[in-house]
């Protein structure tokens, strides 16, 4: 039996790994919180929660500690993890919208955290998402 369900792409997920960042900025809870408040506005997203930022302690393996934060938006979420002692930041911007300006987002992270290098991935999510309700 053939499945005739019409599908669309559900959304887009951008991952950003930033290197060579300013350790003082990466170790600043207020700046991480500000990014989580400011970026959704810059992208035209609607926040559903206040940003949450918590201190992530050294796990004595490979994570020397930093700040982890996220904000839930109507379109999905944004998450940030900083590692000041490694001058590294890892971030996810996930949205159910299509046509995300990846260059704008990456430039924002480069400028904010003073990154010298970035590694990014762009992932199409839900490529077989049904156009209509199935039940």
Would you please indicate which residues are annotated as catalytic (active-site) residues? 76, 81, 96
Strand partners, 11: 125
Per DSSP (E only), the strands in 1-135 are 7-8, 11-19, 52-56, 66-73, 76-83, 88-95, 117-125, 129-130
| Cβ-contact 120, 8 below 8 angstroms | no
């Amino acid at each position: 039996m053939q499945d005739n369900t019409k599908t669309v792409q559900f959304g887009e997920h951008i991952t950003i790994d930033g290197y060579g960042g300013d350790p003082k900025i990466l170790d600043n809870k207020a700046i991480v919180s500000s990014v989580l408040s400011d970026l959704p506005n810059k992208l035209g997203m609607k926040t559903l929660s206040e940003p949450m930022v918590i201190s992530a302690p050294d796990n004595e393996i490979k994570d020397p500690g930093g700040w982890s934060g996220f904000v839930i938006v109507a379109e999905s979420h944004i998450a940030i993890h900083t590692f000041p002692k490694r001058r590294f930041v890892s971030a996810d911007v996930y949205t159910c919208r299509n046509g995300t300006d990846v260059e704008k987002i990456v430039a924002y992270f480069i400028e904010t955290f003073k990154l010298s290098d970035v590694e990014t991935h762009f992932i199409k999510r839900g490529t077989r998402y049904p156009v209509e309700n199935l039940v």
